[in-house]
């Protein structure tokens, strides 16, 4: 109970309450990004694979957050140099506020991968990979980047050697690039969907089934992203200073970067084809958000224009490169949106940081040192992610457990993995589910064997 005579206590308690209320609210917003990812990805896949994608999203959150509770949060603290402190062993129930806050970032990284491997990965392979990501792959990354005593922190081996900590405010590399790189690696090992590339290496477009769901997901993600970026700033810092400047700066740079991302991608697409591609505009908006996520607190409006605009502009270029040159089937473009955009923004840190941020002079020496620190961090995180993801999916592949059968892929994963049709009354994909035996292709009334006991 607050003692009106104990002013020090009063003020500290009020500040703690304000900070914790903020953390809870932004955590809820970040959680909502799962709904955004579900819609964004569902819209970008064929109707025969929609329920599979939705199931992956539901299970990513459900299984992933459980694993992160039991193991991942402990690995994060262990790698960060603070000892193995799993969430179930929290000293105080109040600590679970901070755990959930960390968990929604972790699950964002996890869910990105599902967009890359859509339409052909086996559900059990994907789930197994998600368990490993939540337990080890992501916590190692967050642990080495977000603790002063982690590998990339100010007191860590790399940070000390470079003389500067790796800077990643809200997870432009730790969360998004990590997820995007993992997705690209998994998609590469897995191979493309049937019909995605021709024998001569030329590519075919397999359009998603609903642009409406894709854009809905985009805007839901942008909403949640305000929690992700602005919510990475506390209201008061540990010295009880009110962080109005930081909150305002992050809110503005996040807004400008997303706007310029959408414009950048739209302009490049327009220049290439003469039309403004809706999906590029939407994904460009997200790429702008990803781009600024590592550094929204360090730069100002012109930096946000630059980072957001470039993050958007690189999207169609990198997408084409991945498709045409690498022949990797990254279904929902998670690498150009989350991977390369995140890396780009992270590497631009020292070139767009302003004196207003922390009083330093942004001279050439700082730019070089900053670039080295950022490059080292990105390289280490990328290497770890590619290595672990490649090994795991390589093992699945070697065991014949990575992909569904050719027949199941062609009929769609909704039928083969889940025994259902997403839209039993629409479209003509129904016939493909016929061999499932339980769902009639005309969408009509059917025997309830599916749920029989």
Pick out residues in 164-223 that bind a second copy (CB under 8 A).
Answer: 195-196, 202-207, 209-213, 215-216, 218-220, 222-223
Structure-block tokens of residue 158: 């790399």
Between 149 and 210, whose beta carbon lies closer to a second copy? 210
366 or 423: whose CB is closer to a second copy?
Answer: 423
Nearer to a second copy, 244 or 391 (CB): 244
Residues 6+ apart with CB under 8 A from 289: 221, 222, 225, 229, 254, 257, 258, 261
Interaction between residue 273 and a second copy (CB under 8 A): yes
CB contact set of 335 (below 8 Å; sequence gap of 6+) = 116, 180, 181, 183, 184, 318, 322, 328
Out of 105, 146, 226, 335, which residue is the one contacting a second copy (CB under 8 A)?
Answer: 226
Query: Alpha-carbon distance 133 to 121, whole Å?
Result: 16
User: By CB under 8 A, is residue 324 in contact with a second copy?
Assistant: yes
Nearer to a second copy, 143 or 412 (CB): 412
359 makes contact with a second copy (CB under 8 A): no
Q: How far is the CB of 173 from a second copy (least distance, A)?
A: 24
Cβ-based nearer residue to a second copy, 223 or 371: 223
- 2 binding a second copy? (CB under 8 A): yes
Contacts of 34 (CB under 8 A, 6+ apart): 57, 60, 61, 107, 111
Nearer to a second copy, 20 or 149 (CB): 20
Q: Does 326 bind a second copy (CB under 8 A)?
A: no
> Could you give the CA distance from residue 37 to residue 270 in angstroms, rounded to a whole number?
26
Per-residue burial over 9-30, b if 16 or more Cβ lie within 10 Å, else e, is eeeeeebeeebbebbeebbebb
Neighbour tally for 349: CB within 10 Å = 27
Q: Which tokens is 249 given? A: 């700066």
Q: Which is nearer to a second copy, 56 or 338 (CB)?
A: 56
Q: Report 392-411 residues binding a second copy (CB under 8 A).
A: none
Residues numbered 277-296 forming contacts with a second copy, rule: CB under 8 A = 277-279, 281-282, 285
Residues 6+ apart with CB under 8 A from 11: 240
Q: How is residue 276 written in tokens?
A: 């403004």
Residue 431 as a binder of a second copy (CB under 8 A): the answer is no
Q: Write down the least CB distance from residue 387 to a second copy, Å.
A: 29
Binding a second copy by CB under 8 A: which of 75, 186, 262, 311?
262
Residues within window 58-97 making contact with a second copy, judged by CB under 8 A: 58-59, 61-63, 65-66, 69, 87-88, 92-97
Residue choice 20, 149, 401, 441 for contact with a second copy (CB under 8 A): 20
CB 419 within 8 A of CB 413: no
Helix (H, G, I), strand (E, B) or coil at 237: coil
Residue 151 or 402 having the CB closest to a second copy: 402
- Choose which of 82, 148, 251, 386 interacts with a second copy (CB under 8 A): 251
Q: Looking at beta carbons only, is 153 or 266 nearer to a second copy?
A: 266
Single out the residue of 82, 136, 301, 375 in contact with a second copy (rule: CB under 8 A): 301
For residue 216, give both structure tokens. 């809905």
Smallest distance, a second copy to C-beta of residue 368, A? 26
Tell me how far, at minimum, the Cβ of 103 lies from a second copy, in Å. 7
Three-state DSSP state, 242: strand
Collect all residues with Cβ–Cβ distance below 8 Å to 268 and sequence separation of at least 6: 280, 312, 313, 315, 316, 317
Which has the closest alpha carbon to 146: 253, 237, 138, 369?
138
Size of the site for a second copy (CB under 8 A): 147
CB under 8 A: which stretch of 34-42, 181-189, 376-384, 387-395 binds a second copy? 34-42
């Amino acid at each position: 109970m607050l003692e009106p005579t104990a002013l020090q206590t009063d003020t500290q308690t009020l500040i703690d309450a304000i900070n914790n209320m903020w953390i809870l609210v932004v955590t809820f917003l970040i959680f909502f990004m799962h709904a955004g990812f579900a819609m964004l990805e569902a819209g970008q896949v064929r109707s025969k694979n929609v329920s599979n994608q939705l199931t992956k999203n539901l299970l990513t959150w459900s299984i992933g957050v459980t694993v992160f509770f039991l193991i991942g949060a402990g690995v994060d603290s262990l790698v960060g140099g603070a000892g193995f402190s799993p969430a179930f062993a929290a000293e105080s129930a109040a600590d679970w506020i901070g755990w959930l806050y960390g968990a929604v970032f972790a699950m964002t990284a996890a869910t990105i991968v599902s967009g890359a491997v859509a339409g052909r990965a086996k559900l059990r392979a994907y789930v197994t990979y998600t368990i490993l990501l939540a337990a080890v792959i992501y916590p190692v990354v967050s642990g080495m980047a977000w603790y002063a005593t982690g590998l990339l922190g100010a007191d860590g081996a790399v940070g000390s050697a470079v003389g500067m900590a790796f800077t990643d405010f809200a997870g432009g590399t730790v969360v998004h690039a990590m997820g995007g790189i993992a997705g690209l690696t998994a998609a590469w090992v897995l191979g493309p969907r049937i019909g995605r590339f021709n024998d001569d290496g030329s590519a075919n477009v397999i359009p998603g089934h609903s642009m409406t769901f894709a854009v809905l997901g985009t805007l839901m993600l942008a909403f949640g992203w305000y929690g992700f970026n602005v919510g990475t700033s506390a209201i008061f810092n540990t010295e009880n200073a009110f962080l109005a400047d930081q909150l305002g700066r992050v809110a503005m740079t996040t807004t400008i970067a997303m706007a310029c991302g959408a414009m950048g991608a739209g302009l490049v697409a327009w220049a290439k084809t003469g039309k403004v591609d809706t999906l590029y505009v939407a994904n460009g908006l997200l790429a702008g958000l990803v781009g600024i996520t590592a550094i929204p607190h360090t730069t100002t409006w012109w930096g946000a224009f630059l980072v957001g605009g470039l993050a958007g502009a690189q999207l169609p270029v990198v997408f084409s490169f991945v498709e045409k040159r690498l022949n990797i089937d990254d279904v929902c473009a998670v690498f150009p949106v989350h991977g390369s955009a995140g890396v780009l923004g992270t590497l631009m840190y020292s070139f767009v940081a302003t004196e207003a941020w922390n009083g330093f002079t942004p001279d050439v020496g700082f730019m070089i040192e900053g670039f080295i620190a950022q490059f080292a961090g990105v390289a280490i995180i990328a290497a770890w992610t590619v290595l672990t993801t490649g090994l795991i999916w390589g093992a699945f592949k070697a065991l014949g457990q990575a992909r569904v059968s050719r027949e199941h892929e062609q009929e769609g994963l909704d039928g083969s993995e889940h025994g259902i049709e997403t839209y039993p009354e629409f479209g003509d994909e129904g016939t493909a589910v016929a061999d499932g035996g339980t769902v009639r292709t005309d969408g009509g009334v059917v025997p309830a064997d599916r749920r029989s006991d």
